[in-house]
Amino acid sequence: MSAGTTSAGLRLAFGILSVIPVRVDRVDRPVAGRAMACAPLVGLVLGGLAAGVLALAAWTGTGAFTAAALAVGTLALLTRGLHLDGLADTADGLGSAKPAPDALRIMKASDIGPFGVLSLLFLVSIEIGALVRLQQHGSAPAAAGLVLAVVTGRTALSLACGPGVPSARPDGLGAMVAGTVGRGVLLAWSLVLLAAAGLYGAIQGPAEGLRALGAAAAGLAAGALLLRHTVRRFGGITGDVLGAVVEISGCVALLVVSTG
């Protein structure tokens, strides 16, 4: 893969997955695949920004709940609510119990149904509660746990675009990125994520390190299970499915790292 494709892919990754203004000059399947491979880097930046908001809010004395809500809201703003929208649409499609073509039409509609609303309420509530719990140990562990969760979600996104994953539609984001991320890239990001969890443990202590490792593994496993189910249910991935994978993986990772 050329350096030009990698650079274009990195810009496209920030252009698609965040509100950070970047110039996108090229959009094709090779570049889109590289963008999905760069997703964890976007997660690192977004997670760092949200963690900064969390730490600042805690430092100014807003209280644990308000600080957590501000951090979760910051992530939603930094992503234009893209992944949350994908989660809601995927929940509506799965909850409809209709054949794949009908479920995909429901997911593509602009409105949101009851399953979508409930999924958003549950996920945001769990994330805020987990961050409140983490802050009992200090703002630094809470910030580190948030970054770990956000990067885990974006690593799951790369995994969802791995070899053999089909697209549910002939067009759209799913068709452009399905099967574009190679196994070597997936292995590399998985190792980096585990190393980051190990670093968290080196700073916070062995028990916390094991918990962080478990959180990263649980988040990726949750994303993989959702991916498997949606591929079986819809026949492949869509942009909405990818958003749902990001949100569920990150939420599970944050929940696990907050336990104990």
Q: Is the pLDDT of residue 221 over 70?
A: yes
Per-residue pLDDT at 186 = 85
Mean pLDDT of 126-152: 94
Establish if 130 belongs to a structural domain. yes
Mean pLDDT of 175-183: 92
Q: Look at residues 152, 143, 146, 20 and name the one whose alpha carbon lies nearest to residue 77.
A: 20
Per-residue pLDDT at 217 = 92
Q: Look at residues 183, 186, 177 and name the one whose alpha carbon lies nearest to residue 30.
A: 177
Amino acid 52 reads: G
- Burial level of 202, CB count in 10 A (0-12/13-18/19+)? exposed
Q: What tens digit of pLDDT does each residue of 49-82 get?
A: 999 999 999 999 999 999 999 999 999 999 999 9
Give me the number of domains the chain comprises.
1
Per-residue pLDDT at 231 = 97
Establish if 252 belongs to a structural domain. yes
Q: Look at residues 221, 196, 185, 187 and name the one whose alpha carbon lies nearest to residue 146.
A: 196
- Residue 199 corresponds to which tokens in the numbers above? 């670093």
Mean pLDDT of 135-146: 91
Report pTM.
0.94
Establish if 62 belongs to a structural domain. yes
Per-residue pLDDT at 70 = 98
Establish if 115 belongs to a structural domain. yes
CA 45 to CA 202: how far, in whole Å? 22
Q: Is the pLDDT of residue 1 over 60?
A: no
Q: Is the pLDDT of residue 229 over 90?
A: yes
Cβ(252)–Cβ(182) below 8 Å: no
Per-residue pLDDT at 25 = 83
3-class secondary-structure state, position 237: strand
Per-residue pLDDT at 49 = 97
Q: What tens digit of pLDDT does each residue of 159-172 get?
A: 999 999 999 999 88
Mean pLDDT of 152-163: 95
Establish if 137 belongs to a structural domain. yes
Least confident span in 16-30, 153-167, 196-210: 196-210
Q: Is the pLDDT of residue 156 over 70?
A: yes
Establish if 117 belongs to a structural domain. yes
Domain that holds residue 196: 39-257
Cβ(150)–Cβ(43) below 8 Å: yes
